[in-house]
Chains A and B, each alone.
Chain A
Amino acid sequence: MKKARASLKKNITEYARIYGISVLAVASFAGSSARAQMVAAEPAPNLTAHMFDMGGLVTTGAVTAVGGAAGGGIVPWALIGGYTTKDQVGGTAFYTHVFLRNYQLATYGGLFALSNRVELSFAHQSFQLGSTGATLDGKIFNALGAPANTPESVLPHALRLDNVNINQDIIGIKVRLYGNAIYDQGTLIPQISVGYEYHHNENSSFTRAIGTRPSGSEYYIAATKVWLNGLFGHYTMVTATLDATNAIQNGLLGFGGVGPNGPKTGYHIEPEFAVGYWLNNNLVVGGEYRFMPHYQVVAPGNVPGYGPLGNALSKTSDWKDVYIAYFPVKYLSITLAYADLGTIASEKNQNGVYLSATSSF
């Protein structure tokens, strides 16, 4: 047993030396945290009751994406959060909790909106591994050929995952470049905004252990079109966003990845889509789809032992959700969603209920 431990430690250290990374399994977690952002980080305009409020007509001001920006659950929209006009400031605060099959994602944050032009946002995400962390440790041992019952303490501290929370902070800025989604009617021209998000993963020893960077940047351009007299005469919204990112699971598993010749940090451009349909002035239903980039973590797939482990932890799925948002009043929204984040850190079918509340002021 002692011998097995010593050899596992040696393996890990050696690999870390060769590839300049600390190995293991954590990579898959990161993926989930990235999407966690979806839950909390993007303060969306209030989806609900008065999406647009021509000053309050449409309940758009009170919904927030996980990244903190105004938007849906996982996709930032071109709308500026809150209900500000060109001579006002405002903001929103939100809390989102996602109950996945193996994990939970808790996110809180808020945004400041200036003159319906600029949105400054913040979100803190906590991706909770729970008892699945121990399962992941078992998978790591298994991949490294350690005998059953090998104690967790054999693993480097950064890879002891039982009940670990992976935390991420996201700050963002969004600027409306063109158009006004509410006032521009009778034309196909959308409201267009550009955004930037800086992500910082607090579990840097974990991200380094799986060969990813603890912080990264995302750049996006979003177009949102709202028809006040849309399908069957109801408010109807379509958003298309292009996101340049190297975040793995939205940054929960870090940024960049490993390549055959060392770290690989190249950006991927991924599209994101959202639709919303107002059943009445207080109730919005819709769906979102976010394509996710794929990065290899831990080690290249052809490295014996570590490669297969890396392949398993690297698996990333597109994020999607269907939601219903209720605006009891213009300044408050409660969103219930069913989110499907796919495979995160080798655990498949990470879907479940998403609950979120946003208040605007």
Chain B
Amino acid sequence: MNKANHNGLGLTALTTLHVGPLSWQINRGSAVSLAGESGSGKSLLLRAIADLDPHGGEMSLDGQSALSMTGHQWRQRVGLLPAEPFWWAEQVGEHFTAPGAAPLAELGLPPEAMEWSVSRCSTGERQRLALARLLQNRPEVLLLDEPTAALDPQSVERVEVVVEHYRQERNAVVIWVSHDPAQRRRVATRHYCIEHGKLTEVTV
């Protein structure tokens, strides 16, 4: 494999449970959308890319193999936003190293959100806060698993704008899982579908 030419996220013969083997090259700065029925393996694929599950094949970022760094270093650079994010502390602010720097206003959240108790946040608030939490690491790859599923239209737009700005500013790779064709056209330039663990490019 000619790694020197590869900038961005590279997957080679990736396999995890019933997904793959699939090879995928997504260049820096590009956004792709991913759809597939539940059980098709979307979330498994994202988990494998974030190196949370044992998998076959190889992964690289800007030609650097995942194995050349530790698991946590890879996950700091390849950020996953799960469909249902979990929290490990009581208060929202405890999950942030620099609570002041989080893009709360852009996500339609008040500055006091940092003092909120996680258990009292709505699903939509948690989803947006989890995005803010993830962006702290300044990841070069964003794996977004239905990030706007629980949001009202106004918040959906805000999330789309925040991700778009982040992609441009950081020249990041974005993989956005969504079932809404209109949203897929808004947030991505290339579109993929996963079916029985196989990946195909589609038009939406």
Asked if chains A and B come from one complex, the reply is no
Task: Name B residues whose Cβ lies closer than 8 Å to a Cβ of A.
Answer: none
